[in-house]
Chains A and B, each alone.
Chain A
Amino acid sequence: MKRVKSKVLANLRCADDAFILRLDVQNSAHSAMPGQFLMLHIPNGRTFLRRPFSIADSEGGEITLLIREVGEGTRSLRALKENTPLDIIFPLGRGFSIPHADKVLLVAGGIGVSPLIFLIKFLRARGISTTLVFGADTARHLYLSDHLERLCNRTVFVTEDASSTGRGTAVDAAAKLLEQGERFDFLYTCGPTPMLRAVSELAKKFHLEGEASLESRMLCGIGVCLACSFKIENGRRLKICSEGPVLPLSAL
């Protein structure tokens, strides 16, 4: 965890409501693990609270973010020009664990796919077979689907409006795979919290272990302010920013 002076290498639109931000982190000796995130100060002179973003890729002194425009901060980020200096704190949080597994299932909802992209690359490099079930409201929001199709051993895309191959939610599609008797050694998921809870139920039903990356409104991102405190299954409270964002599915 370090404050790093970074700069924008590229800012590319990848969907009607999302873009890719590539940042230079040459000065940072740290290397990030899948599931970790950064806190970014947005240089627009108005929003002064840092915003959390998952690391969607990290390689050779560069990190890549996949960002959905939802408010003032993310809209300002979309407008950043190449070479703009950025003040970031990274890497933060506890990332995904990499189990001894042959075959894993990944369930993504919307922008929740972001940390899974880096994870899939990581798993693939270790010879682990990846099946991604990715759900969105509409086909335009199946971010980077071509890239993901190449990266994964298998992909299942579903949308709520059936504008892609299948209609339904990521949870429905994952349930279908498991009900058909397909076996996996581990499950990873990221998306809205209600979806994560549903995936956790599903995993329990099929005796599948796994991990979820959680979202929360954060303030400091470094584990001191308790803005993102979250009650886990056994009643204990965790700070999502420092003890997460990745938690065992059984904690939900």
Chain B
Amino acid sequence: MNDSLTTEVAGVRLKNPFIAASGTAGYIHDAPQILSLPSFGGAVTKTLTLLPKEGNPQPRVWETASGILNSIGLENCGVDSFVKEHLPRLRITADLVVFVSVGGEDPNQLCTVLERLAPYTQHFDSLELNLSCPNIKSKSMISQSPSRTERVVQLAKSILPKTPIFVKLTPRVSDILKISEAALEAGANGLVLTNTHPALALDRRTLKPALGGVFGGLSGAAVKPLTLFTVFTVYQALRCPIIASGGVCDESDAIEALAAGAAAVQLGTANLVNPGAIDELVENLKRNLAQRGFSSLKELVGFAHQP
């Protein structure tokens, strides 16, 4: 086993720091073999809402320089069908940590989803509260408001008191520290930094919005420096458990995100473009750490902040 790669974030132990990001691993058990999900430390389900969602009109993806814009629009099967068809099958191997992602525009609906999941907590290890999906029609995201974030996290914590809760934040705020603090004070065990960056692409020929949903969320290599900025800023001020999400494409990116203060990293776009690359990444990370003289991953977390 790659013991040197084990990591712990808010008490959740992962065999390596790579987590397959929400929306890029389906409902885990139904992901194709080529993704090699069992090789990850953890995996997050597609974000779940109370009612099934159809998602946004086509096209839903657009390539930009070193990044992609997506506007999937949270297409998902809804909590009832999830509980029946997917929840009992999430544990595909003993050592893959399972995160269930829950989102939605309306705090009451979001809590109803959590209540429906509450009797089945044995099927998952952790909850990722997606308070930051840019692809839905409401005017603002919950994680753009410290007070709404605080309220939702408090409610979630009261419904699932024993489940570690990670709150996934949007980078589109004026003060990420205020939101982070609100989430942590309300009882969040850790933060996922961050969801995609709200963005726009125009079709070069027609000069009209390229995506069916007009706006999209930017992800991929293009956003890595933005993720590093957010992770570094929040770790510096709060020293809290952080999972980095955004622009991590290879082991060097992962090392940078860990050095900035994350204890684990998500792979999203990289999964979709290079399915199965995880096996190589794990090997490369091990080698890279050894070459740098680190005997364990834990020494690396927050390294950039050391004098």
- Using CB atoms and an 8 Å cutoff, list the residues of chain A in contact with chain B: 1-3, 41, 46-50, 89, 216-220, 222-229, 231, 237, 242
Contacts and interface: CB of A to CB of B under 8 A. Distances in A.
A225 B272 contact: yes
B63 A224 contact: no
A128 B34 CA distance: 35
Given A224-B272, A229-B75, A231-B54, A219 B34 contact: no
Interface string B64-78: 011010101001000
A225 B72 contact: yes
Interface of B: 23-26, 30-35, 46, 54-55, 58-61, 63, 65-66, 68, 70, 72, 75, 220-221, 271-273, 275-276
Given A222-B275, A227-B61, 19 more contacts: A1-B34, A41-B273, A49-B63, A216-B58, A217-B59, A217-B61, A219-B272, A220-B24, A220-B273, A222-B32, A222-B34, A222-B35, A223-B30, A224-B31, A225-B272, A226-B23, A227-B59, A229-B55, A242-B32
Contacts of A216: 58
A38 to B, nearest CB: 13
A109 B3 CA distance: 56
9 contacts: A50-B273, A220-B271, A222-B35, A223-B26, A224-B35, A227-B59, A229-B55, A229-B75, A237-B55
A112 B126 CA distance: 46
Contacts of A220: 24, 271-273, 275
Contacts of A47: 63
A225 B54 contact: no
Contacts of A222: 32, 34-35, 275
The prevalent SS among residues of B at the interface is loop
Contacts of B61: 49, 217-219, 225, 227
A227 B68 CA distance: 12
The A interface is mostly helix, strand or loop, or mixed, namely: loop
Nearest to A230: B58
Contact of A48 (B25, B273, B275, B276): B273
A48 B63 contact: yes
Contacts, number: 81
Given A89-B275, A219-B272, A237-B54, A226 B25 contact: no
A219 B62 CA distance: 9
A226 B275 contact: no
Most central of B30, B54, B63 by chain A CB within 10 Å: B63
Contacts of A2: 34
B162 to A, nearest CB: 30
Nearest to A224: B26
A231 B55 CA distance: 11
A217 B275 contact: no
Nearest to B74: A226
Task: Among A217, A223, A227, A231, find the residue whose CB has the most chain B CB atoms closer than 10 A.
Answer: A227
A1 B32 contact: yes
Most buried by A among B31, B34, B66, B75: B34
A139 to B, nearest CB: 26
A217 B72 CA distance: 12
Contact of A49 (B46, B55, B273): B273
Given A1-B32, A48-B273, A226 B72 contact: yes
Contacts of B31: 224
Contacts of A229: 55, 60, 72, 75
A48 B35 contact: no
Contacts of A226: 23, 46, 55, 60, 72, 75
